[in-house]
């Protein structure tokens, strides 16, 4: 906007010259709830476990060795049991 010394006396209409700026940045991506489910036949399987704190509706995000609730911050750490199938064949 050009900066004029005197503000114009009377304006009947205020014209918004500026258009809405499109915000650049990340859009909030909503988790697709339907991707959490898997329908097999007449059964619905939940792919991810629910948060014990938030109850059903809040999914835990499953990581390598832990589950995390983004809602309340609940973390469930899973200790990896010793894998029995790990055999080393000596050569």
Residue 54 interacts with Zn ion (CB under 5 A)? Answer: yes
DSSP 22-73: PPPSPPPPPP-GGGGEEEETTEEEESSPEETTTEEEEEEEE-SSEEEETTT-
- State which of residues 31, 46, 47, 53 lies at the interface with Zn ion (CB under 5 A): 53
- Binding part of the chain for Zn ion, among 7-15, 18-26, 61-69, 82-90 by CB under 5 A, reads 61-69
Q: Which of residues 64-83 bind Zn ion (CB under 5 A)?
A: 69, 71-72, 74
Give residues in contact with Zn ion (CB under 5 A): 51, 53-54, 58, 69, 71-72, 74
């Amino acid at each position: 906007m050009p900066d004029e010394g005197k503000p114009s006396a009377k304006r009947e209409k205020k014209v918004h010259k500026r258009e809405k700026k499109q915000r650049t940045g990340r859009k909030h991506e909503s988790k697709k709830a339907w991707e959490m489910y898997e329908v097999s036949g007449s059964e619905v399987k939940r792919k991810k476990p629910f948060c014990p704190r938030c109850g059903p509706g809040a999914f835990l995000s499953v990581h390598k060795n832990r589950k995390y609730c983004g809602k309340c911050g609940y973390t469930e750490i899973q200790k990896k049991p010793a894998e029995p199938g790990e055999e080393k064949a000596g050569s």
